Each structure stands twice: as structure tokens, then as C-alpha cells.
Amino acid sequence: MSWTHTFTNLCDWYTHLLHNSPTGTIHIHILRNTITSNPDNVEHILKTRFDNYPKGKPFSTILDDRLGKGIFNVDGDYWKFQRKMASLELGSVVIRSYAFETVMDEIQTRLIPVMASKAHGENGTEIKTVLDLQDILRRFSFDINCKLSFGLDPGCLLPSLPVSNLADAFDLTSKLSAERAMNVSPMIWKMKRFFNVGSEKKLREAVNVVSNSANEIIKQRREMGFATRKDLLSRFMGLINNDDIYLRDIVISFLLAGRDTIAAGLTGFFSLLSKNPRVEEMIRKELNQVLGPDQESPTFDQLRQMHYLNATVHESLRLFPPVQFDSKHAEEDDVLPDGTIVKKGSRVTYHPYAMGRMKKIWGPDCLEFNPERWLKDGLFVQQDPFKYPVFQAGPRVCLGKDLALMNMKSVVAALVPRFDIRVVEPHHEPQFVPGLTTTFRGGLPVKVIEKKMLST
């Protein structure tokens, strides 16, 4: 724990060690964990020797109660089947337009009104209201992902900002499952689970709340019919008969995939934008050019035309990736391209957070928020996915990447022209809560100033 004297977060200490390692790789002996920031190694693990680096049993055991046989938690045939089915669905026009309509509706009817209700006018006097933007974005994300996954509206972003038992239970399962991974030995949590005490008792209760809600929705959907509905559950119900537990595991994985990641991505985005008014002005300028004076929100196609907006979202995900690290387990002994020896059964981790902060990969200005690095002659240019594995890469690349980017860009395009969003303590280095996805400890306290809309 000596790192805590110098670094705020474990990921910052790993970044420091990886930066100082000539190969960009380190080995943490007591954890039997090889951690790499070397793009050649990442390509080797995620693509070239994909078969040698499954998630493995140590990972699936930790998340088994929560995710069961959902896509996140399985390898082999279970994974192949879900991957095929899900990529067909997520790539379909029906799901894409349903997702876009859902996001736009939530933005117009809930997100903008809630932000406006907490905002102050441009000429307002002293601004006192402080809003936790992370909380608002998590509510937004829970609503849209429940609608997409289950066709259910939990109403977390209604004006009263209600408490949702389902959202709370879902969050508790994330927190307690992540804490399992922090035990020195898995025997500790397994014993607690066996005796059903402490955090394991709470985890079991929270998992039951989520599972029971999902079971209830599946039951109702069977009774009411699902053929004409567009959410993922209904689409998968048409493909999987008579296995409601499997169906439940699949959709809970999707809820997890989309909920925490999008909220984390947007929280990081607004924390960076608050300190970069130049970038904010460039986004407004591009929106003005594409939308003109009379149109308030972009269409799906217009979002795709906004190269600067796309660059800012990619750039913020580089510095604040929602999944900071991701581990696999070696099936057989291996040697990575940089010469690191990997022993059978050991853990191998690639680290998008550290990689986004490496001079070797991004140059001397790697810590700056500079969307221009993604543009060539004003056009967005993709980077090598193995040097930017924010969405993973190779055969298991994130299936929701396009959806997530559409979602984030829609929120930015809606909020940036209407509000100046300013972090209350901009120089305070973020502290992260340990977990599977990035969460800012203490939230993201902001002040919101409403701008006069350009068309008025």
C-alpha cells in the first residue's frame, strides 16, 4: 500500500510503473498479474493469440451470481452463440433507430428539463446550487439502458429524482462483486458466501432484487406478447425458447454493459470540457454549422457528420476510459511480443487508462485534452484499436461501441449549446471508487448556467 503516499489512485501508480518500464509491461508477483500498456502485446492477447487468452474461471467465478451465463461472463460456445445473436440485433436498423429515439426522448423530456431546473441564467447573480452531474448521468443512463434492454422505464430521471430500488440493487451488486476481487484470497469471500454473512449476504439480497425484477418482466412479456416490441429482451425471446434464466442473464449483461460505461464516459467528458472552454466553443461552432439557426437537435445522420464532436468524445475516453483495465487468463505458457514470459493460468491485463497517458503512444502532450489529435484536414481519423483499446479490440471488441458513441454525442450536442457546465473544484484530481467501471468518488459537483438558445 506504500503507493498511497504518492498516488491518489491505484491506476495512477500502475501508469507510473508502466511508463518507467522499458517494455511498457510489469509483473505484480503476489497477484500473478502481468500488466501491459504495450500495443503489440495488446494485439497479441486480444487478436493473434485470442484462443490462449479467455476471461477464464477466476473472473467468471467472481461474477457468476450476478451475470450467470451472460455474454460478459462466459467463454467458448456460450460466448459464440450470444456474440452472433447480439451482433445481428445491435447492428439491425430496428434496434438502432429504437435506441436513437429512446435517447432523444429521454434527453428532451427529462435530461434538459432537470438540468434547466438546477441552472442559473447567464446574467444570474451568485450561483449557489451545486449539482452532482455524475448522479444525473447515471440516472439518465439507467433509464435508457433499461428501456433498450427490457423495454422498461424505471423513471430514475423524473423531476423528483426518485430512489429506485432496482437501480440501487443493481449498483450494490456492482460494488460488492468488485470488492470480491480485492480480497487477498478468494477463500475469504467464498467462506462468507457459504455462511451467508456480511457483504455476501447483502450481495445475495441485491442479486435477488435484480433477478426477481428481470424474472417478473420476462413473465409479463410472455403473457403480453413480444413479437412487435423492439427492446433487446423481446428480440432475444424470439430466438431463445423455454430458458428464462439464460434470457435473464443475457439482458442483465446488456444492462451492465451500457449503463455504467456511458455514464462514466460522459462524466469524464464534462470534467474535461469544464477546463477547456476553447473546445467547448469549437463544439458549439460545429453544431451551429451543421444544424443552422432553426434546428435544435441533430438527426442520426447529422451526428455522424460532426467530426469535431466525434474527436472530443474519443479524446475524453482516451483520458478517462470507462473500463480502466481488463484481464484475461492464459490457457497455456506463452511469450508476449516484448519478451515477457507468461505462465499457464496466470492473469494478463491490458490497461487502457495507462495507455491513454503514455508519451510513447500519444506523444509529449499525452496528458492534454486535445481533440485535434484525432483530425486530419478537419476529418476524424480512427486510431489503431490496439493502442486505444477503450472498447477492447479483436474478436471480442465491444458490441455497443456505435451505440455508445451515438449516445454520448447526443447528450453533448444537447447540453453544450444550452448550458455552461462548470466543475466546482476544477483542480481537484479525481479519485476513483474501486470497481469494474470508472466512478468518481464524491460524484462530479458542477454549477450549471443556462445560455440563451442561439435561435432565440
Residue 383 identity (one-letter amino acid): Q
β pairing state of 326-329 and 334-335: unpaired
- From residue 130 to residue 159, the character string flagging contacts with ligand HEM as x (rule: CB under 6 A) and all else as - is ------------------------------
Phi first, then psi: what are they for 191, rounded to 5°?
-65, -45
Stretch that binds ligand HEM, among 18-26, 259-267, 284-292, 425-433 (CB under 6 A): 259-267
Task: Tell me which of 19, 27, 47, 83 binds ligand HEM, using CB under 6 A.
Answer: 83
- Residues in Cβ contact with 389 at an 8 Å cutoff, skipping those fewer than 6 apart: 42, 46, 326, 350, 352, 355
Nearer to ligand HEM, 86 or 172 (CB): 86
Biggest alpha carbon distance in the chain?
66
Nearer to ligand HEM, 15 or 119 (CB): 15
- From residue 370 to residue 399, the character string flagging contacts with ligand HEM as x (rule: CB under 6 A) and all else as - is --------------------xxx---x-xx
- From residue 60 to residue 79, the character string flagging contacts with ligand HEM as x (rule: CB under 6 A) and all else as - is -----------xx-------
Q: How far is the CB of 147 from ligand HEM (least distance, A)?
A: 11
Neighbours of 44 (CB within 10 A): 24
Task: Tell me which of 112, 218, 262, 358 binds ligand HEM, using CB under 6 A.
Answer: 262
Distance CA 292, CA 301 (A): 15
Reading the block at residue 81, the C-alpha cell is 452463440
Reading the block at residue 54, the C-alpha cell is 479467455
The residue number with the shortest CB distance to ligand HEM is: 400
Which residue from 279, 379, 272 is spatially nearest to 319, judged by alpha carbons? 272
Neighbours of 381 (CB within 10 A): 11
The answer to the question of residue 323 lying near ligand HEM (CB under 6 A) is: yes
Is 398 within any annotated ligand binding site?
Answer: yes
Reading the block at residue 340, the C-alpha cell is 515477457
Task: Tell me which of 42, 403, 415, 448 binds ligand HEM, using CB under 6 A.
Answer: 403
- DSSP secondary structure letter of residue 440: B
For helices 93-106 and 133-150, the axis angle rounded to 10 degrees is: 140
Nearer to ligand HEM, 254 or 362 (CB): 254
Distance CA 434, CA 30 (A): 19
Task: Tell me which of 56, 68, 258, 356 binds ligand HEM, using CB under 6 A.
Answer: 258
Residue 412: C-alpha distances to residues 53, 115, 290, 298, 371 (Å): 36, 13, 14, 11, 14
Nearer to ligand HEM, 390 or 448 (CB): 390
The answer to the question of residue 404 lying near ligand HEM (CB under 6 A) is: yes
Task: Tell me which of 86, 217, 250, 415 binds ligand HEM, using CB under 6 A.
Answer: 86
Distance CA 362, CA 384 (A): 12
β pairing state of 33-36 and 347-350: parallel
Give the total of residues touching ligand HEM (CB under 6 A): 22
The answer to the question of residue 265 lying near ligand HEM (CB under 6 A) is: yes
Q: How far is the CB of 410 from ligand HEM (least distance, A)?
A: 12
Q: What share of the chain is helix, strand, coil (3-state, %, to 5)?
A: 55, 10, 35
Nearer to ligand HEM, 133 or 291 (CB): 133
Q: How far is the CB of 1 from ligand HEM (least distance, A)?
A: 26
Q: How far is the CB of 159 from ligand HEM (least distance, A)?
A: 25
Residue 204 identity (one-letter amino acid): R
Reduced to 3 states, what is the DSSP secondary structure of residue 327? strand
Interacting residue ranges for ligand HEM, rule: CB under 6 A? 71-72, 83, 86, 254, 257-258, 261-262, 265, 322-323, 326, 390-392, 396, 398-400, 403-404
Residues making up the annotated binding site for heme are 398
Residues making up the annotated binding site are 398
